[in-house]
Amino acid sequence: MKKLLAVVLTVAMLLSLVSFAAASSLAGEYEIKVWVADKIKDLTEKQIERFNETNEDGIKFKAVVESQGEGDAATNMVNDVEAGADIYCFAQDQFARLLTAKALAKLGVKAAETVTATTDEGAVKAVTTGDGTMWAYPLSADNDFFMFYDKSVIPDEDVDSLEKLVEDCEKAGKYFSFDLKNAWYNSCFFFGAGCKSEWLTDDDGTIISVDDTYNSDKGLIAVKGMKKIVDSDAWNSTSEVSAFESNSAIVVSGIWYSKDAQKILGDNYGVADLPSYNVDGTDYHLTSYFGFKLMGVKPQEDKVKAAALHKLAQYLTGKDCSLDRFEAVGWGPANLEAQAEEAVKNDPTLKVVNEQREFSVIQSAIHGSWWDIGKVIAEEIQPIAADDVDGLKQVLQNYENKMAAVFTMSSAEKEAWTVIGMYNEADGFFFTDYSDGKETWTADLAMVKGDNGIWKTEQAWPMEAGVEFKVRQGKSWDVSYGNGGDNFKVEEAGTYYIVFDEAATTISLEKAE
């Protein structure tokens, strides 16, 4: 009996020591900064509090959770990794530039094994480089777009035909809101026709070339299909579901607006995958980009803090927190157990996400200049007659020329800073009245570098209060600055030089004398 008791006590002591060792290795309080989308800011704060109460390692996070959209978070991390958040969320297409900026800490072996075993296969691929290294935690598997519609206007039987949908909107005097002045959205016509646009990177994540077939016979099919909507008086170029309150019957957007769309439309809430368009007797299903929202951990000098942060990131992207986000804002989980929940499987909007996923291409690395190159296609084809094949081909040739120029820029051009914002490209000065919706952000104002390392526009420009702009490098969105994550906004009307301090990354206005 004494021997048995001794054995029991010995085992108990060993278990206690193991438990203590495990807890003491990471135990402590850590001050951290976390960036998440505004929609989940409050929820994330509660989830971190729950982690503090339930983790068995003795970890306590004193977290400052800030609202940062996935695109802005990535840009701000690239601009200044040291000042960036310890944990932050970003869209999949930002992955390569974050790797290049060394803004992501790689996962350990056990963390990578856990993610691989518990996560959507496509999401696992999205966070893994060619050498098998995993660099982020999948947050959601729903980052594409589809169609919300007002069932009181649009018959369910018409949702598969772009032509019928345009006709329905025209007859009802309603708008078809489709943000085709955005390269992400208008790409669905090209991918639907069989085109591709794949940016290739080296092992460090730097983009080195592109395989793009927009300028082709398939691309011509795409722009012919796009004209079916851009030529209609019903076309409205936005992805905001608030457009339903401004006479829209259809809005093409994503799951981030599903709760808002349901609230606005009520019993008339309709949702469907993207339709097909017909060119010369053949149907082409609109094929969207599909991606994942991801969570990254910033590299840390303190290895213990780094390990604690990875524990938190695993928790925030695990089953329970994924279901929290689904219930609160409708996001589709990347976690397999969460995906298997009946409520998730039966959610009508997520069903449509999965239907559209069958007509999608995975969104990978994208060069920051592509957004400007691709977004003008809809506007350029609009004044061209549908049967003017040469005119449409010229638009595609212009696109190809701009794509080629990305890789022929000189070192000086890549390093130069320019201004882009709300100004009239034709007249060459900032709008005094930009209420007509023409603020297209389509061209850059040159800046000159002074002897003091300060960049300044070549001339002063008249600007009204409220004009917004950013300063960017290499005419690309990979590195850009405004006011924090926002645009720089002119507070007082005047004629100004725009000044950029490259070392301090600050923007100021210098009034012309």
Kindly state whether residue 314 falls inside one of the protein's structural domains: yes
Please tell me the predicted confidence (pLDDT) of residue 69. 86
The answer to whether residues 427 and 297 belong to one domain is no
Count of H-run helices and E-run strands, the chain: 19, 26
- Domain end marker among 357, 378, 402: 357
The total number of residues shown for the chain amounts to 513
The answer to whether residues 344 and 446 belong to one domain is no
The answer to whether residues 426 and 338 belong to one domain is no
DSSP state of 458: S
Torsions phi, psi of 89, nearest 5?
A: -105, 145
Q: How many domains, in total, are found in the chain?
A: 2
| Full 3-state SS string of 177-224 | ECCCCCHHHHHHHHHHCCCCEEEEECCCCCEEEEEECCCCHHHHHHHH
Element (H, E) at 202: none
Q: What is the CATH number of the domain that holds 494?
A: 2.60.40.10
The answer to whether residues 18 and 132 belong to one domain is yes
pLDDT in tens, 339-398: 999 999 999 999 999 999 999 998 877 888 898 899 999 999 999 999 999 999 999 999
The answer to whether residues 329 and 436 belong to one domain is no
Please tell me the predicted confidence (pLDDT) of residue 440. 57
Please tell me the predicted confidence (pLDDT) of residue 35. 97
Kindly state whether residue 447 falls inside one of the protein's structural domains: yes
Kindly state whether residue 503 falls inside one of the protein's structural domains: yes
Kindly state whether residue 168 falls inside one of the protein's structural domains: no
Max Cα–Cα distance, the chain, nearest Å: 98
Average pLDDT in the chain: 89
Q: Strand, coil or helix: what is 472?
A: strand
- What lies within 8 Å, CB to CB, of 121 at 6+ separation is none
- Domain end marker among 339, 357, 375: 357
Kindly state whether residue 207 falls inside one of the protein's structural domains: no
The answer to whether residues 131 and 16 belong to one domain is yes
Kindly state whether residue 390 falls inside one of the protein's structural domains: no
Please tell me the predicted confidence (pLDDT) of residue 367. 85
- Domain end marker among 357, 374, 393: 357
The answer to whether residues 353 and 416 belong to one domain is no
User: Residue 84 is encoded by which pair of tokens?
Assistant: 């960036």
The answer to whether residues 318 and 416 belong to one domain is no
Please tell me the predicted confidence (pLDDT) of residue 479. 83
Kindly state whether residue 472 falls inside one of the protein's structural domains: yes
**Domain that includes residue 333, residue range:** 2-142+291-357
Please tell me the predicted confidence (pLDDT) of residue 482. 87
Q: How far apart are CA 508 and CA 503, in angstroms?
A: 13
Kindly state whether residue 382 falls inside one of the protein's structural domains: no
Q: What is the CATH number of the domain that holds 100?
A: 3.40.190.10
Please tell me the predicted confidence (pLDDT) of residue 423. 58
**Which residue ranges of the chain lie beneath pLDDT 70?**
1-24, 205, 423-440, 442
The answer to whether residues 100 and 13 belong to one domain is yes
The answer to whether residues 439 and 507 belong to one domain is yes
The answer to whether residues 324 and 441 belong to one domain is no
pLDDT in tens, 185-201: 999 999 999 999 998 88
The answer to whether residues 12 and 118 belong to one domain is yes
Please give the angle made by the CA atoms of 71, 76 and 82, to the nearest 5 degrees.
140
- Which amino acid, one-letter code, is at 219? G
